């Protein structure tokens, strides 16, 4: 009864779930746009304080990892489970790289006194403070999603090893891949909104 | 006659594995039902306590701080732990797959997981009472700036709400996929029961609206824990934005509360007047219309918050629009009753109570929806009266109707019908006594969430407190009757009400695997001429 397989049902469930994730970030995007509307100049100034090189590097890293995720799915569909696992490992490795860079970015910010509730920024213009509140909230939430994505991918890799995710029934990997693409996609929006606004 | 045990029969595994880790949708439904009823009892006692404190002006029992904590807790428990999950999680899980002719929901393990999230979320919410700076005192709406600065345990409470929201999303997701994928052969969309349709519309609201609530409460928590400043004007934030985000979820959430109850009523009325429902398609359409239009009216909670006049007018208008589909349903129910051969069994009595109380709440909703009159009664007892008529009179009665309708299916036994009707009568007297004076109090200017009041309000407050005792008596009798009948009620056969939907073709209680042979559906849910009288 429990191992009835409904490929379409599983996909549909995943798409609905992704939709809820988009809405979760959607609430924050609403906050972002309203606040940007109120403080366009301050947002521009605050954005200068972010490190575009690091942001760009991270964007490239995340897009590459998304490519590996897609390759993993194709590999499994073509029957090559070993290769699929290698690609999953690469995806996870790149995700680690993303987090490492993020770590350096954030620690640097903390170091110069920019963090939520910091006394140093208490007498900045409100718009600049709002920028950083939202920056930490949104990239922080995104970071948590990266970690969750890594956990899910590792779990699917294990499923492949024990033969529960196979070339005949690969929907678990496919769904994990979709999740990873979503995480990537959200970053692709966050990057220009925070690093590149003028 | 020996009552069969069906899905409730003990198996060979331990009780914990049989029940707490079950993936059988019927058992999960039962777990929800009993947990929800347990929380309901707690919530009712808190409500009674509020009423006792308000028996006369000045301090009677509890001080202002405890009073604030009590009404917050009452609201949080009733909203997030009782009414939102009530009908979908309990009766949806129990009967949706049966009405579809399916073996289970689409994702049985996920279903168990959502039940566990419900338990964990409830536990976290309760933890917030006894830890940290004491029980939250913000009201269930957690409005900033107060919720950002109060020293009580708001962070833990909102974490609980977050987890409960996740549970609700997963239930909705599961139901959508179930309805799309697992209908028995021949069960076309146009042959779905109206209960299933209502759950379908509800599920979409759960999936689309709840994430916004999740992020909003997360923001409250990080605002408090990290001093984020997202809603603090001094740091570029905006408290009105909080209200928008909160109501973007919580207004649609009131349809999560009421639509399933409407579905139950739409299923019950035809059975007890032996007629197909009047206007099947309009009922379906109005459910979907409510789900859609209901997401556009959130700002009617904010007429006095300082929004622009244009916004106030637009949201006022939209609110009137969303009242139309609800009214359509009421007309449909009444038309179905017209010239039907009515059998006044308890489920129908509760159903009629629902229609009356819901109409009382709905009409006063229009008073609140028109910006002009809302200015006058905003945040007064008028509002408290309105939402209790809708959620207690509406969702609560829908839930009671559902229990009395499906009880024989769940346990294979019948309750004492006379007692059930007396309880319904007590409840009707009680609820009107409890909440009607609140309308008058509100019109006279008594603000809500106050622990004290001026002497001229004493009589109406007393009346309301008497009403709460009748309500309590009705609830006590109803619950007593149900619990006693679960063990001693007269055994019944498959279909005591001669209903025409699929769950009644199964033994009572249904076996764990549901259908021996996959049913093939050849007619709609209200074709009573097809019913075989096998009792
Ligand atoms: C015997 C039953 C009940 C009694 C005596 C009762 C009484 C009350 C009272 C006196 C208030 C306080 C209003 C204020 O001070 O502003 C209140 C608030 C509330 N009640 Fe009830 N109630 C009962 C049942 C219910 C039920 C069944 C629900 C939901 C299904 C519910 C949901 C709420 C909510 C959401 C609030 C708002 C709390 C707030 O203002 O934050 N109540 N109730
Ligand atoms: Cu509303």
Confidence of residue B444 (pLDDT cuts 50, 70, 90): very high
Among the atoms of ligand 1, which is closest to the Cα of residue B257?
Answer: 30
Compute the nearest-CA separation of B228 from chain A (Å). Answer: 5
Q: What are the structural domains, with CATH classification, of chain B?
A: 20-530 (1.20.210.10)
Q: CA–CA separation, A106 vs A100, rounded Å? A: 10
Task: Supply the DSSP symbol for B320.
Answer: H
Q: Is the pLDDT of residue B529 over 70?
A: yes
Q: Find the DSSP H helices in B227-308.
A: 239-273, 280-293
Which pLDDT band holds residue B2 (cuts at 50, 70, 90)?
Answer: low
User: What is the token pair recorded at B219?
Assistant: 């923001």
Residue B129: pLDDT over 90: no
Average pLDDT over residues B245-260: 91
* pLDDT tens-digit map of B49-64: 999 999 999 888 898 9
Bigger pLDDT: A66 vs B61:
A66
Phi first, then psi: give them for residue B414, nearest 5 degrees: -110, 145
pLDDT over 90 at A77, yes or no:
yes
Cα distance between residue B123 and residue B142, in whole Å:
19
CB-based contact A26 B109, cutoff 8 Å: no
Distance of alpha carbon A117 from alpha carbon A123, whole angstroms: 11
As a whole number, mean pLDDT of residues A123-138 equals 90
Residue B491 pLDDT: 93
Distance CA B35, CA B90 (A): 9
Mean pLDDT of B81-97: 95
Nearest to B260 by CA among B356, B394, B363: B394
A70 pLDDT exceeds 80?
yes
What is the per-residue pLDDT for A2? 43
- Residue B380 bridge partners (DSSP): B447
Of A16, A106, A113, A171, which to mutate for an interface test with B (greatest number of B Cβ within 10 Å)? Answer: A16
Ligand nearest to the CA of B252: 2
The answer to whether the Cβ–Cβ distance between A6 and B174 falls below 8 Å is no
A58/chain B closest Cα distance in angstroms: 25
Asked if B209 and A102 count as a contact pair (C-beta separation under 8 A), the reply is: no
Mean pLDDT score, B317-336: 92
A134 contacts in chain B (CB < 8 Å): 230
Q: Of B167, B192, B39, B155, which is closest to residue B110 (Cα–Cα)?
A: B167
pLDDT tens digit string along B203-223?
Answer: 999 999 899 999 999 999 988
Residue-wise pLDDT tens digits, A26-57 = 999 999 999 999 999 999 999 999 999 999 99
- B380 φ, ψ to 5°? -110, 180
Residue B186 touches partner A, C-beta closer than 8 Å = no
pLDDT at B21 over 90: no
pLDDT of residue B534: 55
Cross-chain Cβ contact B210/A20 below 8 Å: yes
Reported confidence tier of residue B228, pLDDT bands at 50, 70, 90: confident
Spatial contact of A94 and A61, defined as CB atoms under 8 Å apart? yes
pLDDT > 80? residue A157: yes
Q: How far apart are CA B140 and CA B158, in angstroms?
A: 10
3-state SS of chain A: helix, strand, coil percent to 5?
Answer: 80, 0, 20
What is the average pLDDT score of chain A?
A: 92
Of B149, B165, B143, which Cα lies nearest the Cα of B243? B143
- Site to substitute for ligand 1 among B39, B41, B55, B71, most atoms within 8 A of C-beta: B71
Among B236, B241, B514, which would you mutate to test the A interface (most chain A Cβ atoms within 10 Å of its Cβ)?
B236
- Greatest distance between any 2 Cα atoms in chain B: 73
Identify the bridge partners of residue B491 per DSSP, sorted by sequence position: B413
Angle, helices B280-293/B239-273, rounded to nearest 10 degrees:
170
Say if residue A1's pLDDT is above 50.
Answer: no
CA B250 to chain centre: 13
Handedness of CA A31, A34, A37, A39 (dihedral sign): negative
B495, burial (CB in 10 Å: exposed 0-12, middle 13-18, buried 19+): buried
Average predicted confidence (pLDDT) for chain B = 92
Q: What is the pLDDT of residues A173-185, one digit of tens each?
A: 999 999 999 999 9
Q: Which of B67, B254, B260, B388 to mutate to test the pocket of ligand 1 (most atoms within 8 A of CB)?
A: B388
* Residue A186 pLDDT > 80: yes
| In the predicted structure, residue B226 carries a pLDDT above the cut 90 | no
Look at ligand 1, atom 4, and give the residue with the nearest C-alpha: B47
Locate A85 and state its tokens: 């696992």
pLDDT one-digit tens code per residue, B393-408? 999 999 999 999 999 9
What is the spatial distance between Cα B503 and Cα B455, in angstroms, rounded to a whole number? 55
Set of chain B residues whose Cβ sits within 8 Å of the Cβ of A42? 236
Please give the helix or strand (H or E) that residue A171 lies within, else none: helix A171-195
- Of the candidates A7, A3, A37, the one whose C-alpha atom is nearest the C-alpha of residue A171 is A7
Distance separating alpha carbons of residues B453 and B67, to the nearest angstrom: 13
* ipTM tops the 0.95 cut: no
- Contact residues, chain A, for B299 at CB < 8 Å: none
Q: Can you tell me the distance from the alpha carbon of B414 to that of B411, in angstroms, rounded to the nearest whole number? A: 8
- Region of poorest pLDDT, from B2-11, B101-110, B122-131, B278-287: B2-11
Nearest CA to ligand 1 atom 43: B47
Q: Are B245 and A23 in contact (CB < 8 Å)?
A: no
- Give residues with Cβ within 8 angstroms of A103, minimum separation 6: none
Q: What is the pLDDT of residue B90?
A: 96
């Amino acid at each position: 009864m429990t191992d009835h397989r409904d490929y379409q049902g599983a996909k549909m469930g995943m798409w609905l779930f992704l939709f809820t994730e988009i809405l979760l970030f959607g609430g924050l995007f609403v906050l972002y746009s309203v606040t940007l509307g109120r403080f366009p100049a301050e947002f521009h100034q605050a954005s200068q304080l972010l490190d575009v090189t690091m942001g760009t590097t991270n964007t490239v890293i995340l897009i590459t990892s998304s490519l590996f995720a897609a390759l993993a799915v194709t590999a499994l569909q073509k029957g090559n489970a070993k290769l699929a696992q290698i690609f999953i490992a690469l995806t996870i490795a790149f995700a680690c790289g993303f987090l490492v860079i993020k770590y350096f970015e954030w620690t640097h910010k903390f170091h110069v006194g920019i963090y939520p509730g910091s006394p140093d920024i208490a007498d900045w213009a409100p718009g600049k403070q709002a920028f950083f509140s939202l920056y930490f909230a949104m990239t922080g939430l995104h970071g948590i999603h990266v970690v969750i994505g890594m956990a899910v991918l590792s779990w699917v890799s294990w499923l492949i090893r024990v033969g529960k995710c196979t070339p005949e029934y690969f929907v678990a990997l496919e769904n994990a891949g979709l999740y990873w693409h979503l995480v990537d996609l959200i970053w692709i929006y966050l990057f220009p909104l925070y690093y590149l606004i003028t | 006659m020996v009552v069969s045990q069906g899905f409730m029969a003990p198996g060979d595994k331990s009780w914990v594995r049989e029940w707490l880790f079950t993936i059988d949708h019927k058992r999960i439904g039962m777990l929800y039902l009993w947990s929800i009823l347990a929380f309901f009892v707690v919530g009712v006692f808190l409500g009674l306590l509020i009423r006792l404190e308000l028996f006369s002006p000045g301090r009677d029992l509890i001080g202002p701080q405890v009073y604030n904590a009590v009404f917050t807790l009452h609201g949080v428990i009733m909203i997030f732990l009782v009414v939102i999950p009530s009908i979908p999680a309990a009766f949806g899980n129990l009967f949706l797959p049966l009405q579809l002719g399916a073996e289970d929901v689409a994702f049985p393990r996920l279903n168990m997981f959502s039940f566990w999230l419900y338990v964990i979320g409830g536990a976290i919410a309760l933890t917030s009472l006894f830890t940290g700076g004491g029980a939250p005192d913000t009201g269930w709406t957690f409005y900033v700036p107060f919720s950002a600065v109060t020293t009580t345990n708001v962070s833990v409470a909102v974490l609980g709400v977050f987890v409960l929201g996740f549970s609700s999303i997963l239930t909705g997701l599961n139901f959508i996929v179930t309805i799309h994928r697992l209908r028995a052969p021949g069960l076309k969309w146009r042959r779905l029961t109206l209960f299933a349709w209502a759950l379908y519309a509800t599920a979409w609201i759960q999936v689309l609206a709840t994430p916004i609530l999740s992020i909003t409460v997360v923001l409250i928590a990080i605002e408090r824990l990290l001093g984020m400043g997202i809603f603090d004007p001094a740091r570029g934030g905006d408290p009105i934005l909080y209200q928008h985000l909160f109501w973007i979820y919580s207004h649609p959430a009131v349809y999560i509360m009421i639509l399933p109850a409407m579905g139950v009523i739409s299923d019950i009325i035809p059975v007890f007047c032996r007629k197909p429902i009047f206007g099947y398609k309009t009922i379906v359409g109005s459910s979907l219309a409510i789900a859609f239009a209901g997401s556009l009216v959130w700002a009617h909670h904010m007429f006095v918050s300082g929004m622009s006049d244009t916004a106030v007018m637009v949201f006022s208008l939209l609110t009137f629009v969303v009242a139309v589909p609800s009214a359509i349903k009421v007309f449909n129910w009444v038309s179905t009753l017209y010239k039907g051969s009515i059998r006044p069994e308890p489920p129908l009595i509760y159903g009629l109570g629902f229609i009356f109380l819901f109409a009382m709440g709905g009409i006063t909703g229009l008073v609140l929806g028109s910006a002009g009159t809302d200015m006058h009664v905003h945040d007064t007892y008028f509002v408290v009266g309105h939402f209790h008529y809708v959620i207690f009179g509406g969702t609560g009665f829908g839930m009671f109707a559902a229990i009395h309708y499906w009880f024989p299916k769940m346990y294979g036994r019948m309750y004492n019908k006379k007692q059930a009707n007396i309880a319904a009568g007590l409840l009707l007297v009680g609820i009107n006594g409890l909440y009607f004076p609140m309308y008058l109090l509100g019109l006279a200017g008594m603000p809500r969430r106050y622990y004290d009041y001026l002497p001229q309000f004493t009589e109406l407050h007393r009346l309301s407190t008497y009403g709460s005792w009748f309500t309590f008596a009705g609830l006590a009798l109803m619950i007593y009757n149900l619990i006693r009948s679960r063990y001693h009620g007269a055994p019944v056969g498959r279909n005591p009400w001669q209903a025409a939907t699929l769950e009644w073709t199964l033994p009572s209680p249904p076996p764990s695997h549901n259908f021996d042979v996959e049913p093939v559906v050849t007619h709609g849910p209200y074709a009573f001429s097809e019913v075989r009288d096998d009792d």
